[in-house]
């Protein structure tokens, strides 16, 4: 894999991971986690692990983001306590 | 929260896109032992098509096509296919999921029997994963009530 592209994707992965746990909005956090999954999918495709990348794209970015958003619909904007 | 909306663009695009998504999922399941893919990934893509239908229309739209009774039956059927193929190998005197022995009951040679049994296991895994994912999503969306998908 081209090492310049590798470094760019790795920096974006770290930025997405830190942003996903530090952002206050739950919906934004779920979307950032989906972006993190897609970047990891790119990284694994570059390493040649196409099967792992396929699973990450189908489960990590697709299904689990839908699950998170369905769970966020059950929450309210502000805490009760 | 998620009521039946009448947005004609979203509904038409969903109706056009769903058959291709499901066809690609079936390709991923059926071609899984030659190329990247397999039962788990194909089942997830098949479940994603139903999730797309639930998001574009509402929960009742999906539940008319895939009722809860059918989902529960499909979860059990996939596990039974997987365990049944494994136990069939065990009955014929080989190890669990040792497919090569199945050429005694199938009218093909050992290599072909191995490929066919792998396809059977992938189909079982795909059915179970699809039904579990759709069931989890509908339960999360409607807080277990299987109605409109709502918060108070």
Give the separation between CA A41 and CA B98, rounded to whole angstroms. Answer: 32
Give the separation between CA A80 and CA B4, rounded to whole angstroms. Answer: 29
Q: How far is B85 from chain A (nearest CA, A)?
A: 24
Cβ of residue A72 closer than 8 Å to a chain B Cβ? no
End-to-end, the C-alpha distance of chain B in Å comes to: 9
Give the separation between CA A11 and CA A42, rounded to whole angstroms. Answer: 13
Which two tokens mark A13? 């992965």
ipTM of the complex as predicted: 0.82
Beta carbon pairs, A and B, within 8 Å = 47
Cβ of residue A26 closer than 8 Å to a chain B Cβ? no
Residue at B3 is within a domain: no
**Per-domain residue ranges of chain A:** 3-72
Structural domain range at position B74? 8-141
For residue B25, the Cα-to-chain-centroid distance in whole angstroms is 9
> What total of structural domains would you count in chain B?
1
In the predicted model, is pLDDT for residue B4 greater than 80?
no
Q: How far is A71 from chain B (nearest CA, A)?
A: 6
pLDDT digits over B14-73, tens only? 999 999 999 999 999 998 888 888 889 999 999 999 999 988 887 888 888 888 889 999
User: What was the pLDDT predicted at A81?
Assistant: 60
Residue at B120 is within a domain: yes
User: What was the pLDDT predicted at A74?
Assistant: 82
pLDDT digits over A16-74, tens only? 999 999 998 889 999 999 999 999 999 999 888 999 999 999 998 889 999 998 888 88
Residue at B84 is within a domain: yes
Residue at B136 is within a domain: yes
Residue B116 near residue B106, CB atoms below 8 Å: yes
For residue A68, the tally of other CB atoms under 10 A from its CB is 17
Give the separation between CA A16 and CA B134, rounded to whole angstroms. Answer: 28
Mean pLDDT of the residues in chain B: 86
């Amino acid at each position: 894999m081209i090492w310049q592209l590798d470094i760019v994707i790795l920096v974006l992965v770290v930025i997405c991971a830190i942003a996903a746990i530090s952002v206050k909005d739950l919906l934004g956090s779920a979307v950032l986690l989906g972006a993190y999954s897609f970047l990891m999918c790119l990284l694994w495709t570059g390493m040649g692990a196409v099967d792992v990348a396929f699973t990450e794209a189908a489960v990590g970015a697709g299904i689990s983001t839908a699950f998170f958003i369905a769970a966020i619909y059950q929450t309210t904007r502000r805490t009760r306590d | 929260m998620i009521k039946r909306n009448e947005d004609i663009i979203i509904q038409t695009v969903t109706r056009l896109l769903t058959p291709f998504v499901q066809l690609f999922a079936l390709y991923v399941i059926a071609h899984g032992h030659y190329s990247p893919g397999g039962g788990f990934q194909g089942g997830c893509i098949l479940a994603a098509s139903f999730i797309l239908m639930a998001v574009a229309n509402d929960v009742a739209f999906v539940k008319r096509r895939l009722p809860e009774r059918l989902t529960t039956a499909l979860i059990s059927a996939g596990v039974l296919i997987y365990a049944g193929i494994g136990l069939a190998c065990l009955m014929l005197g080989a190890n669990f999921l040792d497919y090569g022995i199945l050429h005694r009951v199938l009218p093909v040679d050992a290599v072909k029997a191995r490929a066919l049994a792998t396809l059977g296991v992938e189909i079982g895994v795909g059915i179970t994963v699809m039904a579990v994912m759709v069931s989890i999503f509908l339960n999360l969306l409607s807080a277990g009530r299987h109605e409109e998908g709502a918060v108070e």
